[in-house]
Structure 1
Amino acid sequence: MWRDHLTQIIVFGVLFLGVSALGFAASRWRRTGSLNHLDEWGLGGRGFGGWITWFLLGGDIYTAYTFVAVPALLFAAGATGFYAVPYTVIVYPLVMFALVRLWSVSYKHGFVTPADFVRKRYESRTLALLVAITGIVATMPYIALQLVGIEAALKTMGLVGDSGFTRHLPILIAFAILAAYTYSSGLRAPALIAFVKDSLIYLVIIVAVIYLPFKLGGWGGIFDAAAAKFEASAAPGDGILLNANNQLNYVTLALGSALALFLYPHTATGILASRDRGVVKRNMAALPAYSLALGLIALLGYAAIAAGTKPVLGDNNTIVPALFDGLFPAWFAGVAFAAIGIGALVPAAIMSIAAANLFTRNIWVEFLDKGASPAREARVSKITSLLVKFGALLFVVGISPQFAIDLQLIGGVIILQTLPSVGIGLYTRWFHKGALIAGWAAGMGAGLWMLYLVPNAATKHEHFGGSAIALSKLGFDSPRTLYVGFLAVAVNLAVATAGTLILRAAKVSDGGDGTAPADYTADRSAPEREVSRYTEAAV
C-alpha cells in the first residue's frame, strides 16, 4: 500500500517535481537565440562545452536501462547481463574518430540529424528517408524503456496496480511531464537536468556498494548466494558464468550493441550539440568512467538475490527499487527512486527531440514543406516530439518483453541497419546508394523476421519476446543463441557489398557526393563555413 511508503513518496515527489521545474527554467539557460529554430531548440545552440557535454552524453547513454534493466537481467538470468559492461568499454575507442568526423561534416554543412548527412553524402532523398524512418522507429522502444523505469519505481511505492487503468498511469504522467518541458525548453532541459541526475545516481551507487556488502556478508557472500540460486534453477543459460550455449550470444550482443549505440539519433544529437571537435574527443576519452558505475549497478541484481528480495507484483524490472525499499532507510530509498525516475526523464527527453528533428528535417521539409521557415521547422519538431512519446506508449502497451532491456535491444536491431550508410559512410563513399537501399531492406526484413521468431518465456507470447534467437530457429541443429541485430546487419552488409559490385559492373549511375574530404576535419576555428537557411540565426 502507498501509505506504507509515504516517506519515499514525499522524497521522490519533491526531487521529481524539482527537476521538472528545472526543465522549464532551462528555456533561458545559456540561450544565444530564439528557440524558434532547430539549432537552438534541438541542439542547444551547438555551443555545449566539455562539462555540459559530459553530463548530457552520460545522461543520454546511461539511462533507466542502466539502473533498472541491467540489474534485472542479472537477477533473473545471471552472467549474460554483464554484456553491458564490455560493450560500453569497447564502444568509445571504436567510435571516437567516427564521431569527430560526424561533428565536423555536420558543422560544415549545418546538419541536424544523421539523415541530413546521408542526404548530402549520397545525394539520395530515398536513402535519407529510410535512415530517418529507421531512427524514429528505433527510438520509440528506447523511450518506452525509460517510461518502464519510472513505472518500476512508482510500482514499488505502491502507486501502481497490476491491471486496469492504473497499470499504465505512471507512463501517462511521465508522458505529460516530458511533453511539457521538452516542448518548452528543447535540448537545454535535459542538459541542465543531467547534472542533477548524474549526481543522484553517483550518490546512490557509492552508498550502495559500501552498505550492501556490509549488510549481506561481503561480495563473496553475495556471489555465493547468486551461484546457489542459479544452480538450483532449471532454466538453461542461467548462472554466474556463461555456458557453451550463450557465449556466442554474449559476444555478438556486446559487439552489436557497441556498434548500435552511436547510430541512435539521440546520441548523435548530443555530439552535434558540442562546441567543437576537442569537446567530442575529450568526452569519448573520459566517458568510459561511467562504465565503472555501470558494473557496480549491475551487481545490484546479485545483491537482490543475496538479500532475498522479491520483485513487486512479479515484475523483474522492480528488483532494484525493491532492494532499496527493503534494506535502506525510507528517506534514502526515496532518493534512489528519484534517481531512477530522473534518470529516465533525461534520456527520454533527448530521444524525443532527436526523433522529432529527424521527422522535421528529413520528412516534413524534404517532402512536404520545402519552403518552411526556421520558425516553422521548430514548431513542427516540437509537435512531433509529442507524437514520438505517444508512439513509445504504444510500445509499452503493445509489446511485453520478458525484460525491459529487450526494448532497447529490439531498437538496436533496427538502428543497426543504418551502419553501412551512416557509420561506414563517414569513411568511404564506395557503396552504391542503390545497393545501400537494397541492403537496408534485406537487413530490416531479416531482423524483423528473426525478432518475430523469438518467444517470450515469461508471458507465453510466441513472438517479439527478446533479441536472442536460437540457431535451431534458423534450421541449425544447435541450441546456441545469437543477437538478432548482429545477424541482421551481416545480411545488410552482404547485400550492400554484392549490390555495389553488380551495379558498378553494370555502370548504373550513382549520383554524386555533396561533401568534400576537408569537411571531415573542419573545426569551429576554421574561417570558412557553409551558411544555409538552416544555420542562419532565427529572427
Structure 2
Amino acid sequence: MEAHLTEIIIFSVLFLVVSGMGFVAARWRRPDNLASLDEWGLGGRNFGSWVTWFLIGGDLYTAYTFVAVPALIWGAGAMGFFAVPYTIVVYPIVFLVLIRLWSVSHVHGFVTPADFVRARFGSPTLALLVAITGIVATMPYIALQLVGIEAVLKSMGVTGHLPIIIAFAILAAYTYQSGLRAPALIAFVKDTLIYIVILVAIFAIPAQIEGGWSGIFGAAQDRFAASAAPGDGILLNANNQLQYVTLALGSALALFLYPHSITGVLASKNRDVIKRNMAALPAYSLLLGLIALLGFMAIAAGITPIGTDNNTIVPQLFDKMFPDWFTGIAYAAIGIGALVPAAIMSIAAANLFTRNIYKEYLKPHASDADEARVSKITSLLVKVGAVLCILFLDTGFSIDLQLIGGVIILQTLPSVALGLYTRWFHRGGLIAGWIGGMGAGMLLLYNIGNPATGKLHFAGSAFPLEKLGLDTKMTIYAGILALAVNLAVAALGTVIARSAGMAEGDDSTKPDHYLADEGDPRIKDLDLAAPGTHGTDPAPIPKP
C-alpha cells in the first residue's frame, strides 16, 4: 500500500471533495420544501440543458462501463465494441419516446414509468409488474458500481470491504439529504475528470508503446490470432455478427426503459431540453469509443489482471503508464463515476416502490411528505442491498446478473414505450405478454453456459441458435428473442381479451397530453401548485 500512497491521498481527497458537494447540493436551487418526490426525487423538474446533459451522461455512462468495456475488449476483441453503436442508435430511437413521456408525465404528475402505465391502461396489476421489473433490473446495476471502485482499490493495494462500506455510507447520507440534486451537481466534476483522463490517455499511452497505434493494433491482432476462442478477434466473424447486432439493438431499446434513465429525463424543465440532449449526448459515445480502445492498449502494454479479476485491467494500465499523481486522478475519476449513477439508480428504485407499491397498496392517501419520507428510507435500503450483493456474492455472479438486466427491463417495452403511441394492446394481453416474455427470457438465460468457466447456466446473454434446432454456430441476444415472445403473446392476448369482452380499463390520458410543453396551462407549476396536488388543470386528473 505504501507504494501507492500518492494515489491513495489524491483519490481520497477528490472523493471527499465531491462527497462534500453532495451535501451542499441540498442548498443548490433549494425550494422552500424538499418533502415531495417532485423536489427530492426529480430535482424540482426544472433542470436546463447543461445540467440535464451532465446528469443523464453521468447516469448512463457508469464507472462499470469505463472499467468493463475495455476489459471485455481486452479479453474478446471486437465483440466488446457493441457498446459504441448502441449508444449512438439509442438517441434517435428514444427521442421519439421520451418527449411524449415528459409531456404526459408533467401533465399528470407522474414520477415513474409505472405511474404512466397505471393511468394509460387502468391496471394496478400491470403497473405493479412494471415497478417490480424496474426495481429488480436496477438493483444489480447499483451493486455493479461497486465493481469499478473495487477494481481501483485493488490496484492501490487496498483490500477488504470496509472502504466500500464507508464510501456507500457517505453516498447514502448525501442522497438522503439532497435527493437528485446531489448527483446532478457531482456529475459536473465526474464528467470533467473522465474527459481529462481519457483525452490524456489517448495521446500519452500510445506515445509510450513501440509503434504507436500501429503497434497497438498489431499486438491485439497477434494476441487474438493465437486465441482458441472462435469469437475472439479485432474483427467480427460469421458466428458473432448476429449477436453483435442484436445485442446492440436490444441494449439500445433497453437503455431508456431503466427507471434511472427516465428519472433524469423527467427532471428536465421542457421538451426542448430533451431534444437538445438527444442531439448532444452522442458526444459521450465518442468518449466511449476512446475508452474502449484502452482494451487494445492494455494488450500492447502487456497488462495482466490482478488475480482473475479482469475489471482491474484499466486501473492496472493507468498505474503502469501514468505518473503516480495522475494515476490518483484517474482512479478518482473511476471511483467518483460510481457515485452519480448509484445515487440516481437508488432514487429511481425508491420512487418505484413508494409510488407503485407503498402508495398503491399500503397507504393510498399518503401525502407528498409521506412519499418523500418513504422514498428516502427506501433509497437507503436499496444501497444496503447493493452492498450486501458485493459482500455475499462473488463478483463474477454479480456481473452475470447485470447481463440479464437488459433481458428483464426489455419486457416493459410494450406497455411503456409502445403505450406512449398506441392503446391497441389490452391490459390483459400486456400482462400475459410480460409473463411470457419474462419466462422465455429466464429459460433462455438458464440454458446459456460457458465452457471456459465451467458455468452451465446464466453464464451470459448470447444464446446459441443450435439449441433451437438450427444448423448453425451463430448466437443471438436472448433479450431480443424474449421480447419477440412478449409481443406475440401480448398481441394474441389482446385479440382473445377483446373477443371475450373483457373490460379495457380506463385511460386517463388524452392525445394532447403527449404534446404539452413548458408554459402550457396543463403543466404543473411547482411554485404555484397547492401542496398535495398534481397539476393545475381546471379538471384535476386523478393521481395513479
TM-score, normalised by the number of residues in structure 1: 0.95
Per-residue CA deviation, residues 82-125 of structure 1 (Å, 9 max, x unaligned), is 00010011000111021000000000000000000000000100
Gapped regions of structure 2 (runs ≥ 5):
537-544
1:4 Cα deviation from its structure 2 partner: 1.1
Q: 2:363 — aligned with what?
A: 369
The 5-angstrom pairing of residues 339-354 of structure 1 reads 339-354=333-348
Asked whether the 8 Å contact 2:523–2:535 carries over to 1, the reply is no
Q: 1:262 — aligned with what?
A: 256
Residue type matched to 2:95 in 1? Answer: M
Find 2:503's aligned residue among 499, 509, 514: 509
Q: Percent identity?
A: 70
Q: 1:86 — aligned with what?
A: 85
Taking the aligned partners of 1:157 and 1:529, their CA distance within structure 2 comes to 50
Provide closer, same or farther for how the CA distance between residues 211 and 107 of structure 1 changes in structure 2, counting only shifts above 3 A: same
Gapped regions of structure 1 (runs ≥ 5):
161-165
Matched, 1:196 2:163: no
The 5-angstrom pairing of residues 295-310 of structure 1 reads 295-310=289-304
Provide closer, same or farther for how the CA distance between residues 61 and 174 of structure 1 changes in structure 2, counting only shifts above 3 A: same
1:57 Cα deviation from its structure 2 partner: 0.4
Residue type matched to 2:298 in 1? Answer: A
Taking the aligned partners of 1:175 and 1:159, their CA distance within structure 2 comes to 16
- Which shows bigger deviation, 148-157 or 210-219? 210-219
Q: 1:109 — aligned with what?
A: 108
Per-residue CA deviation, residues 468-520 of structure 1 (Å, 9 max, x unaligned), is 12223444443221111111111101100111122222222212211000000
Q: 1:172 — aligned with what?
A: 165
Taking the aligned partners of 1:410 and 1:429, their CA distance within structure 2 comes to 28
- Which shows bigger deviation, 521-530 or 367-376? 521-530
1:193 Cα deviation from its structure 2 partner: 0.2
Q: 2:198 — aligned with what?
A: 205
The 5-angstrom pairing of residues 169-248 of structure 1 reads 169-216=162-209, 217-248=211-242
- Which shows bigger deviation, 497-506 or 515-524? 497-506
1:34 Cα deviation from its structure 2 partner: 1.5
- Which shows bigger deviation, 459-468 or 518-527? 459-468
1:220 Cα deviation from its structure 2 partner: 1.4
Matched, 1:315 2:314: no
Matched, 1:360 2:354: yes
Per-residue CA deviation, residues 134-178 of structure 1 (Å, 9 max, x unaligned), is 000000111122111111111111102xxxxx2x44442333122
Taking the aligned partners of 1:450 and 1:174, their CA distance within structure 2 comes to 36
1:402 Cα deviation from its structure 2 partner: 5.1
Find 1:282's aligned residue among 276, 289, 299: 276
The 5-angstrom pairing of residues 126-137 of structure 1 reads 126-137=125-136
1:291 Cα deviation from its structure 2 partner: 0.5
Matched, 1:465 2:464: no
Asked whether the 8 Å contact 1:141–1:410 carries over to 2, the reply is no
Asked whether the 8 Å contact 1:44–1:273 carries over to 2, the reply is yes
Provide closer, same or farther for how the CA distance between residues 151 and 265 of structure 1 changes in structure 2, counting only shifts above 3 A: same
Provide closer, same or farther for how the CA distance between residues 206 and 57 of structure 1 changes in structure 2, counting only shifts above 3 A: same
Taking the aligned partners of 2:482 and 2:495, their CA distance within structure 1 comes to 20
**Which secondary structure state, in structure 2, belongs to the residue aligned with residue 491 of structure 1?**
helix
1:406 Cα deviation from its structure 2 partner: 4.7
Provide closer, same or farther for how the CA distance between residues 170 and 242 of structure 1 changes in structure 2, counting only shifts above 3 A: farther
Residue type matched to 2:118 in 1? Answer: R
1:463 Cα deviation from its structure 2 partner: 2.1
Per-residue CA deviation, residues 255-304 of structure 1 (Å, 9 max, x unaligned), is 00000000000000000000011111110111011100000000001000
Residue type matched to 1:261 in 2? Answer: L
Provide closer, same or farther for how the CA distance between residues 95 and 536 of structure 1 changes in structure 2, counting only shifts above 3 A: closer
Q: 1:524 — aligned with what?
A: 518
Asked whether the 8 Å contact 1:317–1:403 carries over to 2, the reply is no
Residue type matched to 2:50 in 1? Answer: W
**Which secondary structure state, in structure 1, belongs to the residue aligned with residue 417 of structure 2?**
helix
**Which secondary structure state, in structure 2, belongs to the residue aligned with residue 158 of structure 1?**
coil
Asked whether the 8 Å contact 2:111–2:263 carries over to 1, the reply is yes
Taking the aligned partners of 1:207 and 1:123, their CA distance within structure 2 comes to 53
Asked whether the 8 Å contact 2:64–2:147 carries over to 1, the reply is no
1:438 Cα deviation from its structure 2 partner: 0.4
Taking the aligned partners of 1:218 and 1:359, their CA distance within structure 2 comes to 51
Q: 1:37 — aligned with what?
A: 36
Residue type matched to 1:177 in 2? Answer: I
1:251 Cα deviation from its structure 2 partner: 0.5
Taking the aligned partners of 1:129 and 1:517, their CA distance within structure 2 comes to 24
1:321 Cα deviation from its structure 2 partner: 0.4
Taking the aligned partners of 1:409 and 1:151, their CA distance within structure 2 comes to 19
Asked whether the 8 Å contact 1:23–1:189 carries over to 2, the reply is yes
Residue type matched to 1:190 in 2? Answer: P
Q: 1:442 — aligned with what?
A: 436
- Count, aligned residues: 530
Taking the aligned partners of 2:495 and 2:208, their CA distance within structure 1 comes to 63
Taking the aligned partners of 2:463 and 2:357, their CA distance within structure 1 comes to 33
Give the superposed CA RMSD: 1.7
Find 1:494's aligned residue among 488, 499, 506: 488
- Which shows bigger deviation, 142-151 or 116-125? 142-151
Matched, 1:154 2:148: no
Residue type matched to 1:5 in 2? Answer: H
- Which shows bigger deviation, 386-395 or 78-87? 386-395
Provide closer, same or farther for how the CA distance between residues 178 and 16 of structure 1 changes in structure 2, counting only shifts above 3 A: same
Taking the aligned partners of 1:223 and 1:5, their CA distance within structure 2 comes to 30
Provide closer, same or farther for how the CA distance between residues 402 and 237 of structure 1 changes in structure 2, counting only shifts above 3 A: farther
